[in-house]
Structure 1
Amino acid sequence: MSARRSPARRPTMKDIARRAGVSESAVSFALNGRPGVSETTRERVRRVAEDLGWRPSTAARALSGEGAATVGFVLARPADTLGVDSFFLQLVSGIQEVLAERHLGLLFQIAADTADECAVYRRWWAEHRVDGVLVVDPRTEDPRPGLLDELGLPAVVIGGATDERHPGLSTVWADDAEAMAALVDELCALGHRRITHIAGLPELAHTERRVRALRAEAGRRGLTEVRSLTTDYSDAEGAAVTRRVLESAAPPTAIVYDNDVMAVAGVAAAAGLGFSVPGDLSVVSWEDSALCRMLRPLLSALSRDSVEFGRTAARELTALLDGGPARTVRVPVPRLIVRGSTGVARDA
């Protein structure tokens, strides 16, 4: 059986510019009927474009008011963990708000894993289904940026690390290390020395950054009873890990959960074991939400404007579709809101 061939690379304006011996801006002027180039150059550019089989992006036509386009968004997470995830609901809300202003549609799909997600990108590209994609949950070893570069598909990576550089990909991110440092500062000021971080999926880049940041902060302060444990973000695993650490010989006096759902489940699990919050155990959620404000005591949480995060990502993608350069954009660091679930450590 013959090996499966990869889809041929789409010709770009850069290809046309190189072949025609002109600048990319001249190609844009020529193909979009704008002034700024001579008729001779315009005709040469058009002939080269036709020879290369270039076709205008539907997104470009949409942005100039000539049609409609679609942006792709794939989530490779267990489906049962998404329905209660407030961060993604707010993120998508912000994304959709900006796309609607530009008359761009949003094509959403859940994938089994990153391999499945990559297959979706290849299919969408081959079928001309989308003109750009929004990528979430960057991995420590991530095949997606390289694939999107190969396909020439504009993309914005949401939550990517600053050392990720790909010519056609912009990055929108927040500094998890700075947020973790502020959180540890607060807990240490309350006398906590035994701190457990109940984290999310281990393969995610932001999980790795938070774990690394907590380890660094613990080392800087000489804390020897600080650790991170990974989960699938679900309430079931959040509760199970909480019970396991609280039943240990030296249980933590503070637990940081990577999302609000696990934090609420953890409080219930702690209560079931006879631990009071915050008397015996301080609890902090990395994500703030209505859940954090409905529980008693109210949950201390790291708060950020997730809707604006989505708007920023969508704006960066539309800028790429407009022909702008790839950029790295840093959004504000989540800030800690102290509520009733954090207090002085019982053995301080």
Structure 2
Amino acid sequence: MTAPGEAARRKPARRPTIKDIARRAGVSESAVSFALNDRPGVSQDTRARVRRVAEELGWQANSAARALSGEHAGALGLVLARPAQTLGVESFFLQLVSGIQEVLSVRRIALLFQVVEDLDAECALYRRWWAERRVDGVLVVDPRTEDPRPELLAALGLPAVVIGGPAAPGPATAEPTAAHPQPPLSTVWADDSEAMARVLDHLHGLGHRRIVHVAGLPGLAHTERRISSLRTEAARRGLDARRVRSVTTDYSDAEGANATRRVLDAPEPPTAIIYDNDVMAVAGASVAAGRGIPVPDRLSIVAWDDSALCRVTHPRLTALVRDTPGFGRLAAQELLTVLDGGPPRTVQGEQPHLEARESTGPCPAG
């Protein structure tokens, strides 16, 4: 039998209301509303007393009520339209969100995160958030080469920052120019083309001439930039386009492994493979080991994103190292700047560097 005192202790605490604040502060409920919403009609002493009592009671404004009154929702949105099976294994988004959250927590702003099945569902969610005033702005990830989201968000008047940039972003500048007019939405981007050039420089310098790029999802702006850069850099070095090529996947370890099997079964298998994330690179190394292909003696492997996986795998994987949490912080800060009245602009993130480890070596003879 439960004792009365124990039942009382188990009862959920009641959230304080404006009536509770008014009773303790000895003022009317309308005076509390004026004081908490920083409106005229009460003295400075009353305003200070009401706010002190509200803090003592742990009172917080209701987000729905704030939205209905035209105030800020106190939240930013992030929607991810990706295959669900890739989310649990790819570390990039966890690191990105940690950087975003680091900035938002200082301003006590919440991050509303949702996973949807496709781009149509993402656009529908933006419309609902806008209609319900659920968020003050959104962070847009995975920009597409054909992307309806910037136009939709601009039409809704919903502030946004695109993380990853368009297929061919302009220079990192806060001022519009004739060649690069003012963008409709702010963008933070990383130079994938330059990063690919660094990877190819490394492999070409080791003598590799048959190179396969196991890319991510087709249609994503950064996937297309990397594929295009590989072709451009290969041509600049006089490499045969039939021997330097890209294949697309869904970023998962399963598709990374399947792609590795296919390219290794080709009449002229690659001597080096570039993977668009760490998970696929580790899966590819496992396929090579299962076939008795030593890394790097017969096959060199490069991972686009560095992670703990790359550093604990044997041999350790050569990888592009970048500050992904810092990229998230940059995006969040840019959105806050827009919300504070700043103009949309294009901002370039820190350039990644290639860290050569044991998974890359000289091209094998023959």
Report the equivalent of 2:258. Answer: 240
> In structure 2, what is the Cα distance between the partners aligned to 1:57 and 1:223?
59
Report the equivalent of 2:212. Answer: 196
Report the equivalent of 2:298. Answer: 280
SS at 1:269's partner residue? helix
Report the equivalent of 2:127. Answer: 122
Say if 2:296 is the partner of 1:296: no
Report the equivalent of 1:169. Answer: 185
Report the equivalent of 1:3. Answer: none
SS at 2:94's partner residue? helix
SS at 1:345's partner residue? coil
Equivalent in 218, 222, 234 of residue 206 of structure 1: 222
Report the equivalent of 1:217. Answer: 233
- Contact 1:154-1:168 at 8 Å conserved across structures: no
Aligned AA (1:231): T
Report the equivalent of 1:105. Answer: 110
- Contact 1:145-1:166 at 8 Å conserved across structures: no
> In structure 2, what is the Cα distance between the partners aligned to 1:253 and 1:139?
31
Aligned AA (2:233): E
Gaps of 5+ in 1: 1-31, 34-53, 60-68
Q: How many residues align?
A: 289
Shift of 1:55: 6.5
Aligned AA (2:328): G
Equivalent in 269, 280, 286 of residue 262 of structure 1: 280
Shift of 1:327: 1.1
Q: Percent identity?
A: 65
Say if 2:154 is the partner of 1:142: no
> In structure 1, what is the Cα distance between the partners aligned to 2:75 and 2:111?
6
Alignment map for 1:83-94 (pairs within 5 Å): 83-94=88-99
SS at 1:261's partner residue? helix
> In structure 2, what is the Cα distance between the partners aligned to 1:230 and 1:240?
11
- Contact 1:155-1:168 at 8 Å conserved across structures: no
Report the equivalent of 1:58. Answer: 72
Q: TM-score, normalised by structure 1?
A: 0.80
Aligned AA (1:58): H
> In structure 2, what is the Cα distance between the partners aligned to 1:143 and 1:251?
39
Cα-Cα RMSD: 1.8
Shift of 1:347: 2.3
> In structure 1, what is the Cα distance between the partners aligned to 2:94 and 2:317?
20
Equivalent in 152, 177, 186 of residue 157 of structure 2: 152
SS at 1:203's partner residue? coil
Report the equivalent of 1:17. Answer: none
Say if 2:294 is the partner of 1:253: no
Aligned AA (2:326): E
SS at 1:137's partner residue? coil
Aligned AA (2:358): G
Aligned AA (1:186): H
Equivalent in 340, 351, 358 of residue 322 of structure 1: 340
The more displaced of 93-102 and 167-176 is: 167-176
> In structure 2, what is the Cα distance between the partners aligned to 1:296 and 1:248?
26
- Contact 1:198-1:228 at 8 Å conserved across structures: yes
> In structure 2, what is the Cα distance between the partners aligned to 1:90 and 1:116?
25
SS at 1:58's partner residue? coil
> In structure 1, what is the Cα distance between the partners aligned to 2:345 and 2:208?
40
Q: Report Cα offsets for 1:208-242 as digits up to 9, x if no partner.
A: 00000000011111111100000000000000010
SS at 1:297's partner residue? coil
Equivalent in 77, 83, 86 of residue 82 of structure 2: 77
Alignment map for 1:39-58 (pairs within 5 Å): 56-58=70-72
Gaps of 5+ in 2: 1-37, 40-67, 171-179
> In structure 1, what is the Cα distance between the partners aligned to 2:124 and 2:270?
43
Alignment map for 1:305-344 (pairs within 5 Å): 305-344=323-362
Q: TM-score, normalised by structure 2?
A: 0.76
> In structure 2, what is the Cα distance between the partners aligned to 1:240 and 1:71?
38
> In structure 2, what is the Cα distance between the partners aligned to 1:313 and 1:143?
20
Runs of 4+ in structure 1 over 2 Å off: 54-57, 163-168
Change (3 A) 1:179 1:167: closer
> In structure 1, what is the Cα distance between the partners aligned to 2:194 and 2:69?
45
Say which one has the larger Rg: 2
Shift of 1:166: 7.0
Change (3 A) 1:272 1:166: farther
